[in-house]
């Protein structure tokens, strides 16, 4: 098996991506959320890899993915680079599953690149345009980091730099209900990434964009009547607040998403934001995505979990495994987490 060479990464015009690929079949791009990286998906990757080519890469600037320049960075820019990454891996058409911030990038992927995205699954997210009108004091207290990280200037980075571990661990503790429920290997990966100044800056830019550029893009889409043409699956934790202040009456996450597409299916999950039930339910969504992708995906189910076929030529991505991580399910009680102790799939660099 090839050794892990950190210099080997899939490069697009603006990003050097890091992550893993496993399984064989119709490609599915997994997008993690804040404050995580691609190891968040290892709890469910095994089940999905039974049927799909699973591509799990760090969001631009998160984890070990690095942005080359200091230009504008919003969800549209991230989506453009992710399409370039998938195409460099030989995938012209693929499904997208996104959690948290990754789901916001997934929306932009599906809206801006409909010829590439065949299905879209949103975990715990409704579009930001529909969130802002419903924000109240309870929501603001629960997701205080949205407002803190979006502040201008250098004050936020200076505060985070003073004790990045404490801020990260407090965030994970709040999101999971108890940080001890998360796999310690995953927490270590998140902690190591968050200690990097460039990662913290990328996260700050991500949240700043949600206050202006991202919402402006979504407002323009709604004004123009643009909708997702692909099927949409929505999974929503039953204990999460929905944007009930938008209108009178009861409004579900699926109701919100039907403003953005005509083919919407939803599933409520009894869990929290980083709860294992959400991750386990994602395995169920994999089968639903197979149906949504059509016969092409059905015919390409994995006969084995060998190396994914890669494009040839001098610009083809190099092959490497992501240290000694595995695709097996973690024994931790709660969390989307990294497991260890079994052989890895043959992986390729993304």
Is 150's pLDDT higher than 90?
yes
**Among residues 74, 99, 273, 345, which one is catalytic?**
273
Q: Active-site residue 138, yes or no?
A: no
pLDDT band at 188 (very low <50, low <70, confident <90, very high): very high
Percent of the chain having pLDDT more than 90? 49
Buried-exposed string 150-170: b where 16+ CB fall within 10 A, e elsewhere: beeeeebbeebeeebeebbbe
Q: Quick one: DSSP state of residue 90?
A: T
Q: What is the mean pLDDT of residues 287-315?
A: 35
Q: Which of 21, 100, 18, 104 is nearest to 63 (CA)?
A: 18
Position 2 scores a pLDDT of 27
Q: Cis ω on the peptide bond leading into residue 35 (within 30° of 0)?
A: yes
Which residue ranges form the domains of the chain, and what is each CATH number?
A: 10-299 (3.40.50.1820)
The pTM (predicted TM-score) of the whole model is 0.81
Q: Active-site residue 100, yes or no?
A: yes
Element (H, E) at 52: strand 52-57
Burial class of residue 113, CB neighbours in 10 A (0-12, 13-18, 19+): middle
**Among residues 100, 130, 214, 255, which one is catalytic?**
100
Position 241 scores a pLDDT of 53
Q: Which of 112, 136, 128, 149 is nearest to 34 (CA)?
A: 149
């Amino acid at each position: 098996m090839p050794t892990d060479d950190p210099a080997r990464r899939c490069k697009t015009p603006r990003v050097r991506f890091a992550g893993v690929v496993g399984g064989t079949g119709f490609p599915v791009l997994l997008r993690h959320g804040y404050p995580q990286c691609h190891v968040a998906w290892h709890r469910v990757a095994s089940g999905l890899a039974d049927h799909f080519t699973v591509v799990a890469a760090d969001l631009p600037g998160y984890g070990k993915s690095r942005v080359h320049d200091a230009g504008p960075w919003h969800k549209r820019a991230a989506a453009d680079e992710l399409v370039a990454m998938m195409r460099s891996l030989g995938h012209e058409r693929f499904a997208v599953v996104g959690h948290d911030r990754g789901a916001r990038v997934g929306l932009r992927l599906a809206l801006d690149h409909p010829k590439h995205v065949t299905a879209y699954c949103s975990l715990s997210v409704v579009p930001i345009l529909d969130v802002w009108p419903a924000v109240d004091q309870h929501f603001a207290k629960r997701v205080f980091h949205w407002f803190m990280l979006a502040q201008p200037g250098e004050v936020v980075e200076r505060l985070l730099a003073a004790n990045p571990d404490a801020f990260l661990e407090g965030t994970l503790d709040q999101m999971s209900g108890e940080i001890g429920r998360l796999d310690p290997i995953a927490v270590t990966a998140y902690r190591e990434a968050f200690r990097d100044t460039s990662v913290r800056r990328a996260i700050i830019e991500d949240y700043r964009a949600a206050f202006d550029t991202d919402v402006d893009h979504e407002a323009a889409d709604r004004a123009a009547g643009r909708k997702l043409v692909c099927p949409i699956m929505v999974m929503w934790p039953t204990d999460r607040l929905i944007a009930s202040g938008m209108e009178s009456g009861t409004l579900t996450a699926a109701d919100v998403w039907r403003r953005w597409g005509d083919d919407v299916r939803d599933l409520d999950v009894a869990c929290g934001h980083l709860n294992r039930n959400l991750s386990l339910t994602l395995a169920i969504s994999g089968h639903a995505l197979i149906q949504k992708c059509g016969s092409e995906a059905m015919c390409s189910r994995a006969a084995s979990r060998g190396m994914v076929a890669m494009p040839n030529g001098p610009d083809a991505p190099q092959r490497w495994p992501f240290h000694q991580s595995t695709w097996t399910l973690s024994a931790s009680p709660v969390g989307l987490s990294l497991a260890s102790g079994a052989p890895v799939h043959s992986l390729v660099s993304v």
